[in-house]
Amino acid sequence: MFAEKDILNLTVSERIQLAQDIWDSIAQVPECVDLTDEEKLEIDRRLDVYHKIENRR
C-alpha cells in the first residue's frame, strides 16, 4: 500500500500515471464493480447522449 506522504512525494505527472494505472486495473475486472440500479441508469443515459452526438457527425 501507498502511504499518503509517499503519494504526495510523487510528481503530478507520476500521480496522474498512478491514477490511470489504478483505473486500468479496475477496468480489467469489470465484474467486480458493483453498480446500483441508479448508477446503471445514469450510465445508460450518458451512453444515449454520446451516441446521439456521434450520430450527428
What is the DSSP secondary structure assignment for residue 10, as one 8-state letter?
S
Please, which pLDDT band fits residue 57 given cuts at 50, 70 and 90?
confident
For 32, residues 6+ apart whose C-beta sits below 8 A from its C-beta are 26
Sketch the domain layout of the chain as residue ranges: 4-56
Task: Decide which of 44 and 2 is more confident.
Answer: 44
CA distance 29 to 4: 25
pLDDT at 11 over 90: yes
Q: How far is CA 34 from the centre of its chain?
A: 14
Assess contact for 10 and 18: CB atoms under 8 A: yes
For the whole model, what pTM was predicted?
A: 0.61
